[in-house]
Amino acid sequence: MPARSAADRLNTHLHEAGLLSGDRLPPERQLTVLLGVSRRALREALGEMELQGLVWRGVGQGTFLGPKPPQPARAETRARASTPLAIMEARLTLEPALASLAAIKATAADLEAVARAAGRGAETRDQNSWGRWDGAFHGAIARACHNPLLLGAFEAVEASRARTDWGRLRAAITTTPMRQASALEHQAIAAAITTRDPSAAQRAMRAHLHSVHLAILSAGTGFDHNPEPREQPADRQANTVEPAERATSRRTSPP
């Protein structure tokens, strides 16, 4: 049954049931019987509603009507203090590992959600739609790990993106060629997860995030306000020391 028909039936049921924002929806198994739709069609309808902020899903809690409640104040303070480049450091540390774990633990429904988000992202023609499906793709991978702690870490990074200059940054870097390249990278990640290849999934995710990182760097300054680290990288230290060694050699060598 088409997802739109399932969505119509779901909306009608929620309205007739008198559910209010914050109320928990019945379990999926029960909803499929009540609505007379397949599990797949129901999940597609719920996925669309989640993207629109009409429902949210809590790990081990169920699906709830309305937008997701805000995070605690301390987490929000940390999120506001983050910069896009700091966020990318966190993503490069976390998300390749998530992709690897998803390749091991993803259910058939998880694989379908990852593939669907990758496919819909490849079909988009505007920046806003791309942003929604990009988020849906990475979120589907995080949920496919079935680990509440890792999902919480992923959601904290996502919250940081929402509270920085990410919107301005997205407008600066999300060109049509970049969207096309990212869509191909998403499909490579999805393929590796679907074929249950953790190493390939990890490599593909890291390559994708490196592409995004490079795009941020090429967008110019103004996105990272953190001071330079006090300790220089090894290669920079080597370049600094070498001239001093040559100067010492010149002073101590006989004329």
Which domains are delineated in the chain? 3-65 (1.10.10.10), 73-218 (1.20.120.530)
pLDDT range class, residue 140, cuts 50, 70, 90: very high
* Cα radius of gyration (the chain): 23
- Rounded to an integer, the average pLDDT of 185-207 is 98
User: The tokens of 87 are what?
Assistant: 């966020």
User: The tokens of 216 are what?
Assistant: 């941020």
- Contact predicate 83/225, CB 8 Å: yes
pLDDT for position 70: 63
Report phi then psi at 65, rounded to 5.
Answer: -80, 140
pLDDT for position 59: 65
What amino acid is encoded at 94 in this protein? L
Nearest-angstrom CA–CA distance, 242 and 245: 5
Most confident of 3-7, 33-37, 59-63, 69-73: 33-37
Most confident of 168-177, 178-187, 223-232: 178-187
Distances (CA, A) of 183 to 7, 63, 123, 129, 190: 26, 28, 9, 13, 10
Model-wide pTM > 0.75: no
Query: Comparing 32-36, 114-118, 192-196, 241-245, which segment has the lowest mean pLDDT?
Result: 241-245
Report phi then psi at 64, rounded to 5.
Answer: -120, 150
Nearest-angstrom CA–CA distance, 67 and 49: 10
